[in-house]
Amino acid sequence: MTEIILVRHGQANSHATDEKSYDQLSELGHQQASWLGDHMTATNPHFDQVITGTLHRQADTARSMGYEISKQDTRLNELNYFAIAQALEQQHKIPAPQSPQEYAHHLPVLISHWAQDRLTDIPEQFSGFEGRITSLITELCDQGGRHMLVTSGGVIGIIVRHVLGLAPDMASKIMLQVMNSSVHRLHFIHDQLLLAGFNATPHLDAPDRTHARTFI
């Protein structure tokens, strides 16, 4: 059997207006990761490998959890939301969001246009984004063992869509639910990839940590 544990990075710079400034953990993001690392140490800390993308917020989450990174893989990198949002505004006159509430309505529109190849001059097409992610999951399933992947909400949304066979527009609904430092489990058994757990935050369940349950 193969077990794959997906972890979304801790809270990043939620006030950023570009990818570079977003790509850093907030103080709370480091704390979320530290609490998750303590939880894993107390339960089942061993992984055959710990893989992160090459983004700072992903690697720093693994380190704040107390794990040594086995390798970094660009296939776990997040979509470039800011570049795609800029293309959506320029090409379809749909303005970028200015608040979390607007973001919740904007993301499904962005994903829909992206998945339907209605955007040009962007860093990556939807099919390429999905293809690189699923290729890594397939490789790990063939390897067997227990693996932790520290990545981002968009990547996790695509993986869940892939496992459950959901329509592309459902990916955005999944992405909007993925909490910072949340844990998701995949099992590959009897030649089937199964979703064994979604969006768990046991390290944030205590009443004095409810403030740390963040999405953005």
Q: How confident is the model at residue 178 (pLDDT cuts 50, 70, 90)?
A: very high
Instruction: Tell which residue, 19, 72, 67, 53, has the closest CA to residue 155.
Output: 53
Does residue 209 belong to any structural domain of this protein? no
- Strands ordered across the beta sheet of 2-8: 71-72, 49-52, 145-151, 2-8, 183-189, 192-200
Q: What residues make up the domain containing 16?
A: 2-202
Does residue 216 belong to any structural domain of this protein? no
Cβ count within 10 A of residue 102: 12
Average pLDDT score over residue span 156-183: 95
Model pTM score: 0.95
121: region left, alpha or beta (phi > 0 left; psi from -120 to 50 alpha): left
User: Would you state the pLDDT for residue 14?
Assistant: 78
Does residue 211 belong to any structural domain of this protein? no
Average pLDDT score over residue span 34-39: 98
Does residue 198 belong to any structural domain of this protein? yes
Does residue 213 belong to any structural domain of this protein? no
Does residue 79 belong to any structural domain of this protein? yes
Poorest-pLDDT segment among 25-29, 100-104, 144-148, 179-183: 100-104
Q: Provide the b/e sequence for 77-89 (b: ≥16 CB within 10 Å).
A: bbbbbbbbbbbbe
Q: What is the CATH number of the domain that holds 8?
A: 3.40.50.1240
Does residue 207 belong to any structural domain of this protein? no
Does residue 64 belong to any structural domain of this protein? yes
User: Would you state the pLDDT for residue 103?
Assistant: 93
Q: 80-108: per-residue pLDDT in tens? A: 999 999 999 999 999 999 988 999 999 99
User: Would you state the pLDDT for residue 16?
Assistant: 77
Q: How confident is the model at residue 3 (pLDDT cuts 50, 70, 90)?
A: very high
User: Would you state the pLDDT for residue 158?
Assistant: 97
Number of structural domains in the chain = 1
pLDDT beyond 90 at 18: no
Residue 167 exposed, middle or buried by CB count within 10 Å (0-12, 13-18, 19+)? exposed
